[in-house]
A and B are shown apart, each in its own frame.
Chain A
Amino acid sequence: MNAVEMVGVDKSFGNVRALDDMCLSVPTGSIFGLMGPNGAGKTTSIKLMLGLMKPTAGSLTVLGVTPSGDGAILRRRIGFVPEDFSLYLHMTGFEILQFNARLYGCLVEENVRRLQTVFELPLARKISTYSKGMRKLLGLYIALSTEPELLILDEPTEGLDPVVRSHFLGVLADETARRNLTVFFSSHILSEVEKICDTVAFMRSGRTILQDSVESIKERYRVYTVRFATGHSPRDVKDIAVHRERALGQDAWDVEVLADQEQARAAFADAGGTVLDVQSLPFDEIFLRFVEA
């Protein structure tokens, strides 16, 4: 069963369409990365999952349940770290953790102690004295301390220094390994997505343009240098989607496709092309190819 399933979800704000036929499947127990440029609809997708917003159309289930504004039972199973993480500044770190624990109806001391061995956050201090990075970390404490089944993180590492970011990602990986936790992760930082995510989805203009495992994307996205017979061009290629083409000379092209190599070679051959060279691209370059297309 998938932890999150979005099928044909639309979300409009007046005339602005934030999500347009959005489809997404987050496998249970995976670390899932949602990537896209600013305004792609990542935060809107997360708010829909939490029941903070309602979809205009389409179907959405989270942990097998349809989220709604009063979905308190569902939210008990979710830990969430928002992008713009504002907390009650008059509380101390301990107080907000206790407040959160009481809302979830659980004990958090053991989990907080485990996190403290890694981060040593000054929990006795008021949140108003915390830096942006410390607040983000406190957000992770809050989200993980209640042992959720699904952890939703919206740009969680923004503002963290590289060392803390590395520990942060380590804790996520440990928690996922320790129990059957699903992590839904939205980020601009491609290196960390590549490092920890099993599956990723690329978003552009409110829709998913690609969803696959990181390894599969890196394995399948290739730049083929192809020489086409006279009268043929990349436009003759069928069965595989050409993402980008660039003429190198009169009959040679660089053609970028996301496909199995055998399939790609067969498609080029059918279109009168001969593959001269095959190159791979770094993950961040592949991402840019998709979102800039």
Chain B
Amino acid sequence: MKALMWKELRENRMKIIIGCVLLSVIGAAVSIAYRFFEGGIPGISQIPPEYMDLIKKLLPDFSNVNAYLYSQWFSKNLQQVGAILAVVLLGGAVAGERELHTAIFLFSRPVSRGMILASKVIVLFGGLVLAVLVSTGCAVLGALIIGKASQPAFVLTATLHSVVALLTFASLATLLSVLVPDRVKAMLFSGVILIALSIAGQFKSLHWLNPLALFGSSDLIKHPVPQLVPIVVGVILSSCMLWTSYLILQRQEF
């Protein structure tokens, strides 16, 4: 298992490092930018009052640093870039072995297919979680640099939701990586499914389909305690998709 994990880490280290650095830079930049928005969005006072009521509903809540971090980091930049990172990391996990014809070598070694899948999932999920933790740390640090301390309970809870949501996206990418023997196609299909579900989730009757709901609602700002439903749904979905990936891999022929 250790040898397999070492191989995965070696193969994916650049993706993980780039993901960590990119997300960290974005995280720090987003939180430092709060000093420009603290007093409200510049120029907003010039908007005629008759339009103001309408616009207010669309404007993000920048009343405090927690609200700002929620709207601009956890439910925007981390959500989007993190989802891309999850799909890129896991979409190539098994599909890459088939595409590059290394699957015959790997699957003819004296290790079970379950071990091979588990090593990939542990390393790549670990890389994804690391990127979320490091970048969120940078976002919090950025806020501290401009003299704004975010509430630890809020940061921890929002981070927990982000990790659960991104691991669910990663599990979807793992499933497609097992199903589709081409890295790019596996990543594209994962992305398309997430986007399609997000669009469908915008309609009231299909709101339950929205995968972004796994990131938790804005209630986290006022009540920074884990929201049970998105976390349980995320964990169950991830487990089901990973288990299905394992069962499919067991039956596949190389």
Contact = CB atoms under 8 A, between A and B. Distances in A.
A110 B36 CA distance: 66
B109 A75 contact: yes
Interface string B220-253: 0000000000000000000000000000001111
B12 to A, nearest CB: 11
Given A86-B100, A99-B3, A99-B7, A80 B253 contact: no
Nearest to A101: B3
B218 interface: no
Nearest to A95: B10
A86 B112 contact: no
A1 interface: no
B158 to A, nearest CB: 36
Interface string A51-89: 011100000000000000110111110101010111110
A70 B3 contact: no
A47 B3 contact: no
Nearest to A139: B105
B111 A87 contact: no
Contacts of B192: none
A290 interface: no
Most chain B CB atoms below 10 A, which of A84, A87, A103:
A103
B253 A52 contact: yes
> What is the interface residue range for chain B against chain A?
20 to 34
B169 to A, nearest CB: 27
Given A54-B253, A90-B11, A99-B7, A72 B108 contact: no
B2 A69 contact: no
B254 interface: yes
B102 A88 contact: yes
A76 B11 contact: no
B114 interface: yes
B119 to A, nearest CB: 11
Contacts of A53: 253-254
Most chain B CB atoms below 10 A, which of A69, A72, A74, A86:
A69
B105 A85 contact: yes
B174 to A, nearest CB: 18
Given A70-B114, A87-B102, A99-B3, A82 B250 contact: no
A88 B7 contact: yes
A75 to B, nearest CB: 4
Most chain A CB atoms below 10 A, which of B105, B251, B254:
B105
B102 A86 contact: yes
A93 to B, nearest CB: 14
B208 interface: no
B113 interface: yes
B3 A88 contact: no
Contacts of A102: 2-3
> What is the interface residue range for chain A against chain B?
20 to 34
Contact of B104 (A54, A70, A82): A82
Contacts of B111: 72, 103
A86 B110 contact: no
Contacts of B10: 90-91
B107 interface: yes
B4 interface: yes
Nearest to A73: B110
Contacts of B112: 70, 72
B250 A88 contact: no
Interface string A93-121: 00000011011110000000000000000
A80 B254 CA distance: 14
A22 interface: no
B254 A103 contact: no
Contacts of B101: 84, 86
B11 A103 contact: no
A289 B108 CA distance: 35
Given A99-B7, A102-B3, A47 B110 contact: no
Interface in B91-149: 100-102, 104-105, 107-115
A76 B108 CA distance: 9
A134 interface: no
A50 interface: yes
Contact of A52 (B7, B104, B250, B251): B104
B109 A100 contact: yes
B110 A72 contact: yes
Interface of A: 47, 50, 52-54, 69-70, 72-76, 78, 80, 82, 84-88, 90-91, 99-100, 102-105
11 contacts: A47-B253, A52-B104, A75-B108, A75-B110, A76-B110, A80-B108, A82-B104, A82-B108, A88-B7, A99-B3, A102-B3
Given A86-B100, A102-B2, A103-B3, 13 more contacts: A52-B107, A52-B254, A53-B254, A54-B253, A69-B113, A70-B113, A75-B108, A86-B104, A87-B105, A90-B10, A103-B4, A103-B111, A104-B110
Interface of B: 2-4, 6-7, 10-11, 100-102, 104-105, 107-115, 250-254
